[in-house]
A and B are shown apart, each in its own frame.
Chain A
Amino acid sequence: MITETKPTTHQIAVTVNGAEHSLEVEPRLLLVHLLREKLGLTGTHVGCDTTSCGACTVLVDGVPIKSCTHFAVQVDGREVKTVEGLKQGADLHPIQVGFKEEHGLQCGFCTPGMMLVTSVLLEENPDPTEEEIRWAISGNICRCTGYQNIVKAVQWAAKNMGESA
């Protein structure tokens, strides 16, 4: 890192997947780069750079946002959840199991964003219709799988979360 080119830096405190971090960052640093480059959390991907594809989706205070057009300084004092934080203790989140069970992924590049968005959907709406699932993931693009099996994966998770609750 070349310090001379850094304009000003800001001190931020952010909780990522339950761990607290205090970091000095350039104001222009994108959240996705904070996660990937500074914290080594490479499960969040960049697909389009323009908030269009959703591969970079993470949760900020429980709300899905696209981290490729979100600045790191905007998460100062907030909680961020990435795919690496989706597991519940040692167990996979039902949404993770659902994606495998229903063949809801192929190359896996869009999968973290898809899972994070749908984990929020299921918290708010434990028994969503197909239409509600399709609406929830409409900001996330998948090129390999299409959406039918992703819908099934979410339905699988909904069913199994319902049964375990």
Chain B
Amino acid sequence: MSTATETEHGGWLGLSVKRKEDDRFIVGRGNYIEDIRLPNMLYMAILRSPFAHAKINSIDTSRASELPGVVVVVTGAILAEHKLAWMPTLSGDTQAVLATDKVRMQGQEVACVIAEDVYVAHDALDLIDVDYEPLEAVTTPQAALEAGAPLIRDDKEDQADNKIYHWEAGDAEATEKAFAEADKVVRLVTHYPRCHPAPLECCGCVADVNPATGKATIYMTSQAPHAHRTVFALVAGLPEQNIQIISPDIGGGFGNKVPIYPGYVVATAASLLLGRPVKWIEDRTGNLISTGFARDFYMDGELALKSDGTMTGLRVKMLSDQGYAFADAQPSKFKAGLFHIVTGSYDIPAAHVVTEGAYTNKAPGGVAYRCSFRVTEASYFVERLVQTAAYELGVDPAELRRQNFIPPEKFPYTSATGFEYDSGNYEPALDQALERVGYKELREEQKRAREQGKLIGIGLASFTEVVGAGPSRQYDIIGIKMFDSAELRVHPTGKAILKLGVKSQGQGHETTFAQIVAHELGIPPEDVTVQEGDTDNTPYGLGTYASRSTPVAGAATSVAARKVRDKAKKLAAHLLEAAEDDLEWETGKFFVRGAPERAKTIQEIAFAAYTDHPEGMEAGLEAVDYYDPPNMTYPFGTYAVVVEVDRGTGEWKVRKVVAVDDCGTRINPMIVDGQIMGGLTEGYGIAAMELITFDEDGNCIGSNFMDYLLPGSWDTPSFELGETVTPSPHHPIGAKGVGESATVGSPAAYVNAVIDALAHAGVRNIDMPLTSGKVWAALNEAGLAE
């Protein structure tokens, strides 16, 4: 394997090539799920439970079935006949496809109407009569674990309570010792609340089972089409070669389109039953109340320090609200995802993490909302805790970070909970962020402002991520190892098609991955078509989430291209009548050493691969690579946020955001910056407003975009971006992945800024989202309100 140090940067790397995919989107010719229309197609609508917890006494579909235009009303009882009433989740639990015995969350799928017209399908929902017997709803994980709490999963024989898992990482004994010997212990108790990825496009599918051939073509909003094909084969018992998943253009995913939802399953079952295509498009309320939520971690942790500020130990207890099914899309070994990366950027010799998950009467999910398996919660916690420690020690939060950073000479670094950080150099990113934001001057200004009764806060976050799952020895999804793949075919005219197992949802793969091929082979990006999403026409891969496309599929692309180059060299030797050893490569051509005029371009070589290949050599010029990364990648950075807090109202306004990111080699800086700005926007939303909450009966508050608030153009701040570059030593071109850095790193920076404005009065925590009401209450309590 080549290493980054052997790779000459330049050429097509680091160039802000304009995106190829934009050409169709700017003229309205994208092809999203709702745009797909097949002949003779039927439409499906879902009846959802109004109750969070209720026994179903009966479901009467007779009135609905009689409505002209209705073809069939599907219930759990019908699915049960085919053993399809329940399905497995990506964490090895079960989830109802359509409720049979009980409903266990508001919005749970109870019945589906299949009709000739989408309006008629929705009309018929009102004609389904369900007799519910409401039960007490469990709406917090704390309540769920109390003795005598209603048992949510009484359908599971081995489930006597509402506890899902207990999982620990790190060294309890060593950590205990560190705390016993500590000069100072600082504690933070905080809740990372439930929020929702809320991509602008909801989920949906068009299932088309051909009764003559048995072939099931399922167009669906899938971030992981190959994995979904295998799940369909296992769940529905369909032969896998007869299943084709096609994930068309996706209108944003952010983790929401990783799980398999009941709508996909019922539409496919209905198409199989009826022999006609069935289309299901989710509405926004359905999306927000029933599909994969994110976060919902209650965290209670402590940091042990020496009096000089040296961090010596970290311990965290975490309780997770999983909803009524354990459905995190995450590696099976790790029950709380990668939350145990909670030591973050700091050289903390001892750490211990105790995690528990509980069932509640809420939607399942726990998806990684622009996040690598719970690294967001971990990063948020440690960055908030370090800030708290700085206040308690009376030192500058920036300097406490600097003092405890893992020093560059310690990489590769093995953390106390077992991660092996590939590369890092944290101080330059911190320094740059402080410089750009004007940190010293701001601290002076903050002091002066306080004297004048004004509140300014400066918040920092020096995050480290863990992305690019993953080495297959450690990482799998329902047993499928987390490699990824690339198949590169160079056509006779020197144009190429690259087929990938991942799937873009807006990240710009068609451009970025074409640039990788261009870098490796000298075929310009415009001559490389990137194909994704169609399982019949792409090699197997685990999909796009957890910032894994560039680290894994990007590496596979490089390696496949290098395999092509190896064969091209043999062809060039034949064409130039030279020994292979006498040939040198310069992007786009081989030439004879010492005689640069004797050269063959990759295009000439490609033509020869089909027209003039030497005897004994296979024709064609193509290669496949299934890439199993030797390690995860560890992007990092420092974000700095400056806020002003209104003492009269609790409103806070962002004055400045500086984000310095290190994602290793940048393939397309324009796209990298775009990913970061998008993440900073979502991070702001999470810190300030995005909240899925419930009343005591389990009614979801946040079921539409009037209640579930998203950042808009008017309130979202502007961002100033900076970069440092520390390549990954194990990735073929040194890239680390960047799609999630800003959602992982920024919420802590925003919150730290608001807390910083109030910290002198003793305020240490306000749980997100930091609505003005909550901030005002904190101001009031601290005696700062005006």
Instruction: List the interface of chain A (C-beta within 8 A of B).
Output: 1-2, 4-5, 26, 28-29, 36, 41-50, 52-53, 55, 82-84, 86-87, 92, 96-97, 99-101, 103, 105-112, 115, 133-135, 137-138, 140-151
Contact = CB atoms under 8 A, between A and B. Distances in A.
B670 A103 contact: yes
B678 A145 contact: yes
A83 B712 contact: no
Given A99-B26, A109-B32, A45 B704 contact: no
Contacts of B123: 5
B729 interface: no
B255 interface: no
Given A43-B29, A83-B28, A84-B28, A106 B120 contact: no
B68 A44 contact: no
B507 A96 contact: no
A144 B117 CA distance: 32
Contact of B713 (A28, A100, A109, A147): A147
B706 A50 contact: yes
A142 B505 CA distance: 14
Contact of B681 (A48, A83, A146, A151): A146
Nearest to B670: A103
Given A47-B201, A112-B28, A42 B34 contact: yes
Nearest to B676: A146
Contact of A134 (B673, B677, B713): B713
B19 interface: yes
B712 A106 contact: no
A87 B200 contact: no
A143 B285 contact: no
B28 A5 contact: no
Interface in B167-206: 198-202
A155 to B, nearest CB: 13
A45 B252 contact: no
A143 B252 contact: yes
Contacts of A137: 713
8 contacts: A45-B251, A47-B201, A105-B22, A108-B30, A143-B710, A144-B252, A147-B713, A151-B713
B714 A109 contact: no
Nearest to A110: B200
B26 A100 contact: yes
Interface residues of B, number: 60
A46 B499 CA distance: 30
The DSSP consensus for interface residues of chain A is loop
B69 A45 contact: no
B18 interface: yes
Given A43-B29, A112-B28, A138 B714 contact: yes
B506 interface: yes
Contacts of A46: 34
B284 A50 contact: yes
B28 A82 contact: yes
B68 A4 contact: yes
B680 interface: yes
B253 to A, nearest CB: 8
Contacts of B610: none
Query: Which one of A103, A110, A143 has the highest number of Cβ atoms from chain B below 10 Å of its Cβ?
Result: A143
A156 B67 CA distance: 53
A143 B254 contact: yes
B694 interface: no
B241 interface: no
B674 interface: yes
Contacts of A52: 704-706
Contacts of A44: 28
A109 B712 contact: no
The DSSP consensus for interface residues of chain B is loop
Given A53-B705, A100-B26, 18 more contacts: A28-B119, A47-B200, A49-B284, A84-B27, A100-B18, A103-B19, A103-B671, A105-B26, A106-B508, A109-B32, A109-B252, A135-B714, A141-B705, A141-B710, A142-B713, A146-B711, A146-B716, A147-B681
A48 B678 contact: no
Interface string B278-304: 000001110000000000000000000
B612 interface: no
B471 to A, nearest CB: 29
A26 B119 contact: yes
B119 A83 contact: no
Contacts of B677: 145-146, 148-149
Contacts of A86: 27-28
A140 to B, nearest CB: 7
B682 A143 contact: yes
Nearest to B120: A5
B200 A53 contact: yes
B223 to A, nearest CB: 12
A150 B680 CA distance: 15
A101 to B, nearest CB: 7
Contacts of A41: 28
Nearest to B712: A138
Contacts of A142: 200, 681, 713
Given A108-B506, A140-B713, A1 B116 contact: yes
A47 B198 CA distance: 10
A106 B678 contact: yes
B712 A111 contact: no
A110 B24 CA distance: 13
Nearest to B124: A5
Interface string B614-650: 0000000000000000000000000000000000000
Contacts of A111: 25-26
B73 to A, nearest CB: 15
A42 B19 contact: no
Given A109-B251, A138-B712, A36 B200 contact: no
Contact of B27 (A45, A96, A149): A96
Interface in B95-145: 116-117, 119-120, 123
Contacts of B508: 106
Interface string B234-252: 0000000000000001111
Given A26-B119, A100-B19, A143-B254, A83 B27 contact: yes
A83 B116 CA distance: 29
Contacts of B254: 143
Nearest to B673: A103
Contacts of B678: 106, 143-146
B27 A87 contact: yes
Contact of B22 (A42, A49, A84, A99): A99
B713 A45 contact: no
A97 B23 CA distance: 9
Contacts of A135: 713-714
Contacts of B202: 47
Contacts of B444: none
A144 B685 CA distance: 12
Query: Which one of B27, B34, B123, B285 has the highest number of Cβ atoms from chain A below 10 Å of its Cβ?
Result: B27
Contacts of B23: 100
B714 to A, nearest CB: 4
Interface string B501-516: 0000111100000000
A71 to B, nearest CB: 13
B26 A96 contact: yes
Contacts of B285: 49
B252 A148 contact: no
B284 A48 contact: yes
Contacts of B249: 107-108
Query: Which one of A1, A92, A147 has the highest number of Cβ atoms from chain B below 10 Å of its Cβ?
Result: A147
Interface in B672-722: 673-674, 677-678, 680-682, 704-706, 710-714, 716, 718-719
B712 A43 contact: no
A4 B682 CA distance: 47
B713 to A, nearest CB: 4
Contact of B712 (A92, A141, A148): A141
A55 B117 contact: no
